[in-house]
Structure 1
Amino acid sequence: MTHAQPGILLPAPRLAVYLDFDLAAEGDARGALARLREIADGEQVVVGIGLSTVQALGKHIDGLRALPAISGPGIDVPSTPAALWLWLRGDDRGVLLHLARRLEAALAPAFYLRDSVDAFQYQNSRDLTGYEDGTENPKGAAAEAAGIVHGRGPGLDGSSFVAVQRWVHELARFEAMSAEQQDLSIGRHRVGNAEIDDAPPSAHVKRTAQESFTPAAFVLRRSMPWARGLEAGLMFVAFGRSPDAFEALLRRMTGGEDGITDALFRFTWPLTGACYWCPPLAGGRLDLRALGQ
């Protein structure tokens, strides 16, 4: 899918910075997006546009909606939408810092920075709990089918929807569990990564078996660990051809189907949650014709 932002389909980078922007009440969103188009290449800078920005431009993107806030037994999953989401990818923290400053200046005063989060790869693409992340990610043509819009016409084909949540881990609570309890919570053995066939129905792997949904709920995950001082967790990032699959996964995790909540919530929970539309590329630049520019 040559029109997709290439950073969506590439493996996660060594380092990343996530930027959330809000839209000023009387800001010139069109002018700011035009400046962003001169910088963002879709690979070093992946762009997600929020519902509030689309509405401010008087446009509609079919499928784009706010990520719903969901509650389950003892669980509250928040919805914290932003107007614009940028994923900066690279392997040099200083380069990413200067790139973030350049983007912030280009988007001002229409968009103002709400939050910035640093992320990194841990060992061989493991979560900070030590478990491999993204084991069952679709690959190749299956990744494009799951993560990229197709059959919708120019300006939409090659786009994607991304769900973003910042999860905070209570690592002391996790480390107080036995190795067997940890494995059963995930549904995989940390050593060897083999799936545990007789894991309880609350195990994360059982809750989120993408092929067990109707229709199948495949997403393309590009999650990375994050840290601020000693606070840390996982920046969950999942691309899809619509938000439907991710919302189905989240409803099952929170017990919406059968009252069984995902065992992950014993030691981690999301602080944020949002959904964005990632426009395609045309001629190496963001294709914003669906937004009228």
Structure 2
Amino acid sequence: MQNAIRTPHQTTAYQAGIFQPIPMIGRYVFFQLAPAADTVSLKASLTRMKSLVDGESVVAGIGQQLADRLGMKVPGLREFPALSGPQDVRVPSTPAALLLWLRGSDMGELVNRTRALANLLRPALDISNIVDSFRHGPLDKTHAHDLTGYEDGTENPEGEEAQAAAFAHGQGPLLDGSSFLAIQQWQHDFEQFESFSASDRDDLMGRRLSDNEELEDAPESAHVKRTAQESFEPEAFVLRRSMPWLHSSKGLDRSGLMFAAFGCSLGAFEVQMRRMAGLEDGIVDGLFRFSQPLTGSYLWCPPMHNGQLQLGQLGL
């Protein structure tokens, strides 16, 4: 499929990396506004950044903080809402000014690219956090796996339905082809997860690990039932592009899933997250029994035009 949405006057393309399969390795580089950042320095930094953001090896997402500092509005963009639910469920909000999702197969290349991008964005933007990620599971399968072994993204829409779910359309040349990203870093407690029986694990997910088949008799708390995209009104389809992550420090490993959902708006993710947290009917998603979100951010991924990131909505 061509990554283009045609209008009468131009061809607007989405950032191709959003639609492509999960890369072998990824790097999520989050930026915060520098104390002295002003409109002039921000515009200069973002203009320089465009030379290294091709939408494929580097996918860019703009946060509400950055848009606000520029005095611009992106329709549909807002900050991630912090949520509290039954059973002491906590879903944190950790706003970011900018996210660059680096995609590739050579970690050295991603490290060098990170440094080059950070240099271009100074002095207006500073790196606040980096999360390194990787593909897990059989390479001959369409979907990658979470570190629990379960397949991730099974219910993703495909083809034209995926394009419709993931990218804005009919909103004008500055917005068409853009995508809204909800991203969370979930940390798994593997000691807790491995204490469950194999059947209990399947019930938490709502699928069998052995063949990825959905369980008809799964409990209402099963992740598959909490997030069944067609069960919402209106239907809440998103394009998931999640990757496992790992951080080692002082001889200890922390790991989990960098959950990423791309949508034509933030609404589909938001209703799913509220149901997962038990805010819809008091039933908490089984994932919370062994995993917790550490972060939560909303970002707007601008479209591409003539091979360059289109930042006209931000006045550039």
Partner of 1:231: 254
Residues in 2 aligned to 1:281 and 1:52: alpha-carbon distance in whole angstroms: 22
Instruction: State which of 45, 66, 79 in structure 2 corresponds to 1:53.
Output: 66
TM norm structure 1: 0.99
Q: Hey, what's the Cα distance between the residues in 1 that align with 2:27 and 2:126?
A: 16
The one-character-per-residue Cα deviations of 1:26-63 (angstroms, maximum 9, x if unpaired) are 22110110011111000000000000100111110110
Alpha-carbon distance in structure 2 between the residues aligned to 1:37 and 1:205: 39
Separation (CA, whole Å) in 2 of partners of 1:5 and 1:172: 38
Instruction: Structure 2: state its 5+ residue gaps.
Output: 5-12, 139-143
**For residues 35 and 67 of structure 2, what CA distance do their matches in structure 1 show?**
14
Aligned to 1:211: 230
Equivalent in the alignment of 2:209: 190
What value does the CA root-mean-square deviation take over the aligned residues? Answer: 0.6
How far residue 25 of structure 1 moved from its aligned partner, in angstroms, is 2.7
Q: Hey, what's the Cα distance between the residues in 1 that align with 2:273 and 2:71?
A: 30
1:12 is aligned to 22
Match for 1:150 among 164, 169, 174?
A: 169
Partner of 1:63: 76
CA distance in 1, matches of 2:42, 2:22: 29
Alignment-derived partner of residue 22 in structure 1: 32
SS of corresponding position for 2:270: helix
* Aligned length, in residue pairs: 293
Code of the residue aligned with 1:178 in structure 2: it is S
5+ residue gaps, structure 1:
none
CA displacement at 1:159 relative to structure 2: 0.4
Identity %: 53
Q: Give the drift of 1:123.
A: 1.5
Alignment map for 1:1-293 (pairs within 5 Å): 1-2=3-4, 3-27=13-37, 28-73=41-86, 74-124=88-138, 125-229=144-248, 230-293=253-316
Q: CA deviation at 1:77?
A: 0.2
Distance 1:207 1:123 in 2: 24
Give 2:8's aligned residue.
none
TM-fit CA distance, 1:100: 0.6
The CA deviation at 1:225 is 0.1
Secondary structure of the residue that 1:26 maps to in structure 2? Answer: coil
